Amino acid sequence: MTKPNSLLTQPNSPGLNQASARRTPLSDTQYAAGLRIFQNCTAYRDFIVPQLSRSETVLACLPGHLIRRIKRYVAYEPNDVFAEILEGSMGTEEVLPCLNLAAQVHRTSFDLETSTGDEKFDLILFCHSMSDMKPSHASITRALSMLTQHGIVVVFHRDGTLDFGSLVCTQTASFPTGLVCMADIDAVLDDFAAFIAGGSSEDAARAIWRELCRSFGVRRHDQLSFSAPEVMYAFNCHATSLSELTDLVLVVKEDRAIKNREARLQRPAAIARPTDTRQVQQCVQWVLRNEFSLTVIGGGHGGHCLKGNVFAVDMSAFDKVHLTAVEKTEEGREGIGKNLGALVVAEAGSTTGDIIRKTMAAGLTVPLGSRPTVGAGLWLQGGIGHLSRLHGLSCDAIIGTILVSVASGQILCVGHVPEQHIPRGAVRPANEADLLWAVKGAGTNFGIVMSVTFKAYPAPVYSTRNWVVPLADEAEALLQIRKFDTLVARDLDQKCSADACLYCKDHRLHLGVAVIEAYNSNFTRVLLTPAFEADIWGSGSDIKTVDGFGLFETEIYVYGMHGGHAGGKSSAFKRCIFLKNIGDKKIASRLVAAIKAQPSQFCYLHMIQGGGAVGDIAEEATAFGCRDWEYACVITGVWPREEGDDSELARSVKQWVYNVAEDLLPLSCGAYDPSNVLAHACPFPAASKLKLIILVTGEICAGKDHRAYKEQHRLALTAYFEEQVRQRPLLPDEHFLDMVHNAVGVDVLLITGIRDNAPVASFSHLVPECRLIEVNVCASENTRCMRRGSGEDNHDNDVDLTQMNYRPDLIFNNDETGDDAAQMFAESYLLPFLHSDLNLLAEMVREVPNFPRSGIDFRHVLGIAHQAGGLALCTDLLESRFPGDWAKIGAIACCGIGGIAFASALALRVDVPLPTSYISAMLSSSSEEALIEVERDVIPKGRPAVVIDDVLSSGSTLCALLDLLITAGVAAENIDVMVIAEFPVHRGRELLRNRGFGTIRVQSLLVVEGV
């Protein structure tokens, strides 16, 4: 799919303006109709645009513990349609149950004059359009003055259309690939165009608008889609504090020439230009004090050195490169060889060209990249060049660094840094070895790097030899790519690197090949050997011999093709994918197909050879863990600069780059994404989602690790904790969530020492995405006395299970010594929670977006029964997971259509009667109450019953059914409940417990996130 055009970021397009010349302001209903098009647009659901996807219910979507923190709600909504919705929903206790004062909805815009008052708020959201609030930074500044000490103002908006002046952001997020999609129907397009233009128009103009929409939008089936990038800015109450810094450091608004055009489009809050380490430290300390974000500008070639309203630090003043004399042998420091040889200290504002020029003068070099203007971002994030096969990546040559930590503001000295280049006040951090590891590949993530120390190598001279091979058709292209891979590159000496470039010229595919050999007096030259005179593509262009600086200038095929990239006046957008075996037909044909699909004749695929020293380093030795590749394939989208960066051509070229990357990714060994180096360059396992939390409760000394000192202070600690909870009732929730949030990359979390009563009922709504179970550990009194070591029977602190008014999910008898019993227990009762059958079942729960109303994603649990094998799987699971004996069960009870579907299949399977219960009548159409009835005497006296239901959400239906069973003579201890899916967010277990059913065992096959 090509990327749709951004009609949304071009509201001033001449066509639209011309057509809008006689537009009348939108009525509230017309405005609402336009906005609903965005609301129904699924592409926004993944992003933080709640105002667009769930305008009425944004707060209702918060987890319960946050909702209960909302004591005051005030809204400014000039549109009557939405104001009415807000008044209806926010006024109700169901949405905001803990308001101290009634919700207030002002039917007007938030404006500087009317919205006065001294009231303070924790959260101020600017949603929808800010078009009524001009200038926008003044409205934000006004809102900032209404914040509590730790409050934040959050703005959600279309990207590229707001100017917040010098307000400094604490956080930003962007959604550049946002799409708005709609049916290609006149009426829908009329609503949409009027919304974008900000007014409705006469019939004739409407027809022009429709045409404009159709020409701008990308059609897919009967849908039109438009690019709609979105951003979020969060400001805290310090957002206006830039003046605190301006006395200390030179601060400017615009930067020197940032080379990357995407970055150049961003409007940072301010750019500091420090000139010494102390000033950099002051910048970081100011950022930390005010909880801001920051970016760093190195060579300015990356797309992330500037961000909208984020504070930036420009390192251009630190542009020196220092050479140190040959060092003596150094022992002992992590990661450095014995003989360090010559070292190069490159300050962070220096460029590739600065380093090469300085080192070459001393007969030395550092393995860097192919362009002289590229800066520190290259060596901090990897760095691939013509010496990589011989000496490794640029980051592999780093042996030390000085950085200002963005965690502490301290100046850190890491690894080997020559004494004279260690600034005053620098400290060696405790995690020094880890930091050195991290800087080698992910160096932009931990602080502002002031300088790095490189190992230097003897400077070589380079021979280059080029071939340009015109390709008649696809078959020939595949053949030549295979020749390049297998005959030229595969067995190439490590001193050489072979690059290939696939491109089109005069509508014909071409393969350009360059072999570059690095040599000095120590090496025998490879390019002059008979193998390279052999008949692959003939002798090629003349062999040129250049030095390290000359290599930048060498007109090898990449710079010469297409007439030198549109005469050198071009813009480019690149992404890099690591590949092996490009001669393999599967990969080669995708490369050829990519070039055939290029939207501009200037695009190309550049395969830079890896292997050699790159792969000699172990994957886990540096943060650049992706080592096992043969080619870095740089997918390069190019368009003539005169077309403009926001032109249709530029957008489709970028989309082409993304498409090709997506297509090659499954065949690749990894990808290099500078915005997410850790995620892509390191083969870390993907963060796993927490699946199961086991809360271990139990009587004192029921565990095997009884410690006397714990007992000695238990009473005092318990009293202290209870007092804390009295002062901060949500403390247990906070402790629990802290533990969960710290469990990164964990599948199963075990939390021991839980003393809370009925912890599953209390905490499960806090983690609605995973299953929470309680295992109560018990032991006989004798065992506990023995473990206590006193022989005395001191019961003071014991929890008496019989006194508990709830039932733990599982009870483990811990009388035996050794691990066998625990292992058997885990295998029999805990591992089944992770069984793949449950995943299979979960996949059968279909999601129905926007049902029964907008903003609700309905989970169709009953739909399991409609799917092939669904009912049988459910029945198997219900049958096998029931902990009791089916033969003893007197009845299976259920209620409603959902319960009956599953209960009847189970009843047949286990041969237990299914007495008919039914919802007899709705009491009134406005009430949600219903009457549940069951035939008299259908449940045999004294026999247990199992309740089967499809869903446990709020628990009210289940409570009614349990009431009915108990009235019908079934004792509570004889009832088990099994449900197919539980939605913990509705706190059903808590309701059951509050209604006196806490001792009834409730099991759910699935735990489902969502409402």
Ligand X SMILES: Cc1cc2nc3c(=O)[nH]c(=O)nc-3n(C[C@H](O)[C@H](O)[C@H](O)COP(=O)(O)OP(=O)(O)OC[C@H]3O[C@@H](n4cnc5c(N)ncnc54)[C@H](O)[C@@H]3O)c2cc1C
* Residues at the contact surface with ligand X, assessed by CB under 6 A: 260, 295-302, 304-305, 315, 348, 369-371, 374-378, 380-385, 444, 448-449, 674
Cβ closer to ligand X: 153 or 374?
374
According to DSSP, the residues that pair with 570 across neighbouring strands are 640
- Residue 996 has which token pair? 């006196």
Least distance between ligand X and beta carbon 675 (Å): 8
Contact (CB, 8 A) for 415 and 400: yes
Looking at the Cβ atoms of 369 and 984, the one nearer to ligand X is 369
Q: Measured from the CB atom, is 34 or 637 closer to ligand X?
A: 637
Q: How far is the CB of 34 from ligand X (least distance, A)?
A: 37
User: HSE-up of 933 (CA within 13 Å, CB side)?
Assistant: 7
Non-local CB neighbours of 915 within 8 Å, separated by 6+ positions: 891, 893, 934, 935, 938, 939
- DSSP code for 827: I
CB of 452 to ligand X, least distance (A): 9
- Cβ proximity to ligand X: between 4 and 299 the closer is 299
Return the number of the residue (223 or 675) whose C-beta is nearest ligand X. 675
Q: Minimum distance from CB of 570 to ligand X (Å)?
A: 11
Q: How far is the CB of 576 from ligand X (least distance, A)?
A: 8
Report which secondary-structure segment, H or E, holds 661.
Answer: helix 648-664
Cβ pair 5, 217 in contact under 8 A: yes
**Interhelix angle for 186-197 vs 203-216, to 10°?**
90
How is residue 676 annotated by DSSP? G
Could you please report the per-residue DSSP string of 733-749?
Answer: HHHHHHHHHH-TT-SEE
Q: Would you say 153 or 258 has its CB closer to ligand X?
A: 258
Cβ-based nearer residue to ligand X, 261 or 333? 261
Q: How far is the CB of 376 from ligand X (least distance, A)?
A: 4
In this structure, what DSSP letter does residue 91 have? T
Output 447 or 898, the one with its CB closest to ligand X.
447
Please state the closest distance from residue 260 (CB atom) to ligand X, in A.
Answer: 6
- Shortest spacing between CB 371 and ligand X, in angstroms: 4
State how far the Cα of 219 lies from the Cα of 4, in Å rounded to an integer.
8
Comparing CB distances to ligand X, the nearer of 412 and 901 is 412
Residue 693 makes CB contacts below 8 A (sequence gap 6+) with: 740, 748, 749, 750, 751, 767, 770, 771, 772, 773
User: Least distance to ligand X from the beta carbon of 303, Å?
Assistant: 7
| Choice between 36 and 371, CB closer to ligand X | 371
Toward ligand X, which CB reaches closer, 104 or 445?
445
58 or 250: whose CB is closer to ligand X?
250
Whole-angstrom Cα distance, residue 47 to residue 5? 20
Distance CA 548, CA 387 (A): 10
CB of 610 to ligand X, least distance (A): 11
- Closest separation in Å from C-beta 680 to ligand X: 13
**Residues near 176 by Cβ (< 8 Å), separated by ≥ 6?**
159, 229
Q: Where are the beta strands (DSSP E) in 782-916?
A: 810-813, 846-848, 858-860, 891-894
Contact call for residues 37 and 180 (beta carbons, < 8 A): yes
Q: Can you tell me the distance from the alpha carbon of 295 to that of 310, in angstroms, rounded to the nearest whole number? A: 7
CB of 1009 to ligand X, least distance (A): 34
SS3 346: strand
Residues 6+ apart with CB under 8 A from 5: 216, 217, 218, 226, 227, 648, 651
Token representation of residue 92: 């109700």
Provide, rounded to whole angstroms, the least separation between the CB of residue 606 and ligand X. 10
Question: What is the secondary structure of 603-620 as a DSSP string?
Answer: -EEEEEE--THHHHS-GG
SS3 61: helix
Q: Which is nearer to ligand X, 210 or 575 (CB)?
A: 575
Which residue in 394, 369, 384 sits closest to 578, CA to CA? 384
Give all strands (DSSP E) within 28-108, no chain letters.
74-76, 104-106
Minimum separation from the CB atom of position 566 to ligand X (A): 15
Strand order in the sheet with 891-894: 891-894, 945-952, 975-982, 1001-1007
Choose between 200 and 405: whose C-beta lies nearer to ligand X: 405
Q: Which is nearer to ligand X, 256 or 866 (CB)?
A: 256
Residue 39 or 281: which CB sits closer to ligand X?
281
Interior/surface letters 424-450, b for 16+ CB within 10 angstroms, e for the rest: eebeebeebeebbbbbbbbbbebbbbb
- Cβ-based nearer residue to ligand X, 558 or 947: 558
CA gap 124, 154 in Å, rounded: 6
Residue 312 C-beta: closest distance to ligand X, Å: 8
Give the torsion through C-alpha atoms of 724, 728, 732, 734, to 10 deg: -120
Tell me: cis bond preceding 640? Omega within 30 of 0 counts.
Answer: no
SS3 for 580? coil
> In whole angstroms, how close is the CB of 714 to ligand X at the nearest point?
49
> In whole angstroms, how close is the CB of 375 to ligand X at the nearest point?
3
Residue 684's nearest CA partner among 670, 673, 674 is 670
